[in-house]
Chain A
Amino acid sequence: MKTSFWRGRTATALAALAMVAGTAGCLGKTDSADTDRNADAKSFTLTIAENSISGGKNAVGADWISKWIIPHFIAEEKAKGKTAHVTFQPSGAADEDYKAKVALDLKTGSGADIYGIDGIWLGEFADAGYIKPLSDEVGQKAVDSWDGWAQIPKAVQGNFAYNDKRYGVPEGTDGRVIFFNKKLFAQAGLPDDWQPKGWDDILAAGQALKAKVPGVTPIQLNAGTAMGEATTAQGILPLLAGDGRELYADGKWQGNTQAVRDVLGFYQKIYRGGLGDPVLQQDAKGRDKSFAEFAGGKIGMLFESDYFWRGVVDPTEGIAKMPDRDSTVGYALIPAVRPGAGIRNQDFVSMSGGSGWVVNPATKYPQQTWELLRFMNSQQATIASLNGTARITQRQDVNSQVLTSDPMLSFVAEKVLPITAFRPGFAVYPQVSQALQQATLDVVVGKSPADAAATYQHTIEPLVGGAAKVDSN
Chain B
Amino acid sequence: MVGLGRSRAVAFVAPALVLIGVFLVFPAFWTLYIGVTNYRLTGAAAKAPEVVGLDNYRGVLSDPAFYRSLWLTLIYVLVSAAVGQNVLGFGLAWALRGARRAIRRLIESLVLLAWVLPSSVVAFLWIAMLDRDAGTVNMLLGQSPGTAWLVQYPMTALVVFNIWRGTAFSMMLYSAALSSVPPSHLETARVVGSSTMQTLRDVVLPHIRRHALTNTLLITLWTFNDFTPFLLTAGGPDHRSEVAPVYIYNTAIVGGDMGYSGAVSLVVLLINLLLALVYLRAARAGRSS
Complex Cα distance, B42 from A96, in Å, reads 12
From residue B238, how far is it (CB to closest CB) to chain A in Å? 6
Chain A contact-residue range equals: 35 or more
**B31 and chain A: residue at smallest CB distance:** A16
Q: Is B127 an interface residue (CB 8 A)?
A: yes
From residue A42, how far is it (CB to closest CB) to chain B in Å? 36
Count B interface residues, CB 8 Å.
35
Complex Cα distance, B141 from A326, in Å, reads 38
From residue B35, how far is it (CB to closest CB) to chain A in Å? 12
Do residues B42 and A431 form an inter-chain contact, with CB atoms below 8 A? no
Q: Which residue of B33, B41, B148 contacts A100 across the interface (Cβ within 8 Å)?
A: B41
Known A284-B150, A284-B233; contact A12-B29, beta-carbon cutoff 8 A: yes
Complex Cα distance, B45 from A261, in Å, reads 32
Known A125-B42, A224-B236, A284-B233; contact A279-B254, beta-carbon cutoff 8 A: no
**A94 and chain B: residue at smallest CB distance:** B120
Do residues A430 and B256 form an inter-chain contact, with CB atoms below 8 A? yes
Q: Is B5 an interface residue (CB 8 A)?
A: no
Provide the main secondary structure of the chain A interface.
Answer: helix
Question: Which residues of chain B have C-beta atoms less than 8 A from A442's C-beta?
Answer: 238
Question: Which residues of chain A have C-beta atoms less than 8 A from B148's C-beta?
Answer: 279, 283
Looking at A9, A224, A226, A282, the one whose CB has the most chain B CB atoms below 10 A away is A282
Q: Is A103 an interface residue (CB 8 A)?
A: yes
Question: Which residues of chain A have C-beta atoms less than 8 A from B230's C-beta?
Answer: 284
Do residues A279 and B132 form an inter-chain contact, with CB atoms below 8 A? yes
Do residues A431 and B46 form an inter-chain contact, with CB atoms below 8 A? no
Do residues A427 and B43 form an inter-chain contact, with CB atoms below 8 A? yes
Do residues A16 and B47 form an inter-chain contact, with CB atoms below 8 A? no
Complex Cα distance, B256 from A430, in Å, reads 9
Looking at B41, B45, B233, B250, the one whose CB has the most chain A CB atoms below 10 A away is B41
Looking at A107, A285, A430, the one whose CB has the most chain B CB atoms below 10 A away is A285
From residue A106, how far is it (CB to closest CB) to chain B in Å? 9
Q: Is A19 an interface residue (CB 8 A)?
A: yes
**A432 and chain B: residue at smallest CB distance:** B255
Question: Which residues of chain B have C-beta atoms less than 8 A from A279's C-beta?
Answer: 132, 148, 151
From residue A446, how far is it (CB to closest CB) to chain B in Å? 10
Q: Scoring A residues 120 to 151 as 1 if CB is less than 8 Å from chain B, else 0, what string do you get?
A: 01011101111000000000000000000000
Known pairs A226-B237, A282-B236, A427-B40 / 18 extra A-B pairs, C-beta < 8 Å: A12-B21, A12-B29, A13-B33, A17-B33, A20-B33, A123-B43, A124-B42, A128-B40, A129-B46, A225-B234, A279-B132, A279-B151, A283-B150, A284-B127, A284-B234, A431-B255, A434-B254, A442-B238
- 4 residue pairs, one from A and one from B, having the closest CB atoms: A427-B43, A124-B42, A282-B237, A128-B46
B residues at A contact (CB < 8 Å): 21, 25-26, 29-30, 33, 40-47, 127, 131-133, 148, 150-151, 230-238, 250, 253-256
